[in-house]
Structure 1
């Protein structure tokens, strides 16, 4: 089911959203001082490309640089990105088929609002591939 939802998401906006974040990431790398924001933009782009089956978690450990960077990000970009995701989610939720896509768009708000210090991980833990690996 996740693959089907991801393909529908990709066709109906995920590709353009990911490309937008990737272009922003490239621009951040060109400006050199904004390279940490570039890494964050590429992280969001990968999540925006294939959101179903993945989630956002905090990276472990104290991150004072991430807090400062997130404050700057929220003031410059985060608020506008979050508003854009809310508006897009409302537009997608008009149809029944668009409701899961709207939920995926809402799932992007936390990472687009404060992206530094976050990690994108699979929802399900990896399954052992061999029988020997399954035994303790």
Structure 2
């Protein structure tokens, strides 16, 4: 299988050399000039490609550093008492506490708290 490939390659090289010998000198000069210009442009684009290759990892590193900084920044948490209990801030004393944040035992005897509210008014008037 190599023999036909070598024959084809050899024949192509012979045809190229023969065509290069028969080429007009002015056309050859224009081709050499065009080749030099193409190589110069390739070097310029190669510089841009190298710059892109450097900027891409630098940008990725900057993004990772930003995420790491964001993740490590302190988060404001509710203030805690010395015994470790969370202190609730009473913004409006008229509203009942949130059911999710309140002690569940407060909701077990709601009738008692209703009775206490009615009777505490009568006790205060005495």
Q: Same fold per TM (> 0.5)? A: no
Q: Normalising by the residue count of structure 1, what TM-score does the alignment of the two structures yield?
A: 0.22
**Highest Rg: 1 or 2?**
2
More strand per residue: 1 or 2? 1
Which one scores higher on RCO, CA 8 angstroms, separation ≥ 6? 1
Q: Normalising by the residue count of structure 2, what TM-score does the alignment of the two structures yield?
A: 0.24
